Amino acid sequence: MIVKSCIKGLFCRFVQTINCVRKNSTAKYCLELVRKHDFENYLCTLLLHKNIRRTGFAVRAFNIEIATLQDQISDMKIGEMRFKFWETSLVEIYKNKIPKHPVLIELFMAAKTHKLSLIYLKRLISSREKYMLNSSLKTIEDLETYAENSVSPVYYLFLEAMEIKDMTVDHTVSHLGKCQGIVNIIRGIPYNSKSGRISIPQEVLLKYKVSYENIIRNSSEQNVRDAIYELASRANSHLMKARKLEKEGNKRIKSICLPFVPLHLYLEKLRKADFNVFDKKLQERNNLLPMKLLCHKIVG
C-alpha cells in the first residue's frame, strides 16, 4: 500500500508541476535545466511544498548556471566576465529591472514573491568564482567552507521562501549543504580527473601519499580508497548531524531535507564499492529513488 501511495503521490506532483510550467516558458526552462543537470534534486524539488516549488526550481536552475560555468570556458578572463554578468544581473533584479534571461526572470519573480536575500545568491556566485580561479583546496576545513558557501545558500533561500526563522533549522540545512557539497566533490572526481582537475584537499593527498597521477589514472589502490574514505566520513558526519537536528526541529522542513535520501544512498553505495570512487556502478541511476523520496516524506 505504501509503495502504491508513493508512486501515485509522485505522479500527481509531477502532473501538477508540468501543468503549471506549460503555461510559462521561463518556468519550464528552469525545470528542464534542473532535470537535465541534477536529476536527484529535480525529484526532491518536485516534492517541495507547492507554494515554493516554482521558486525552488528557479534557485536550483540559477545554481546550475553558476556551477557549470567552469566547464564551459577555457579562458579565465572569459569566466570572470560571465560571473560578472550574473552578479550584475542579480543587482538589477533587486532594482526591479526585469532581465531577459529565463532563469533570471524566474529568479526575479521568486525574489519579489518571497523576499529572498541577495546575499545568499551572491554567495553562490562568489564561491564558484573563487573555486574557478583556484580549485586547489588545502584542508578538509577548506572543503567544508566551499561546500557551505556553494550549496547551503540554496537551502537558506528555501527557508526564506517558507518564512522559517529558526537557528536549529539553520544549523540543519548548513550540515545538509556541507554534506551535499562534499559528496558533489567526491562524485565529480572521475569527471574532473579527465581534465586534470583534482579537488581532493592537499592535506588528504599528502596524508595517504596519493599523487595527482593516481587520480588522473583512476587508480583504485588502497591509499586512494583511504583518501576517499576520509572525505566520505566527513560527509556522513554532517549528514548524521543534519538528520538529528531535523528530528529535533521544525517539522515543516521535511520536504527541504529530502536530499538526505540520495546522499545516504550514494554514501552507502560508495561504502559497498569499498570507496573506489571510479567504480562504474556509482554512476548508475537509482530507479527506486522516486519511491524512496516520497516514502521518506510520508513516513520519515
- Looking at residue 298, its pLDDT comes to 82
Nearest to 231 by CA among 171, 151, 142, 128: 142
- Looking at residue 21, its pLDDT comes to 55
- Looking at residue 11, its pLDDT comes to 54
- Looking at residue 17, its pLDDT comes to 57
What is the residue whose three cell numbers read 589502490?
Answer: 221
How much is the pTM? 0.92
Q: 277-285: which pairs have CB atoms within 8 A and are 24 or more residues apart?
A: 277/186, 277/187, 277/189, 277/190, 277/224, 277/228, 278/189, 278/190, 278/218, 278/219, 278/220, 279/220, 282/187, 283/190, 285/39
CA-CA distance, 222 to 213, in Å (whole number)? 15
Give the residue ranges of the chain where pLDDT is below 50: 1-3
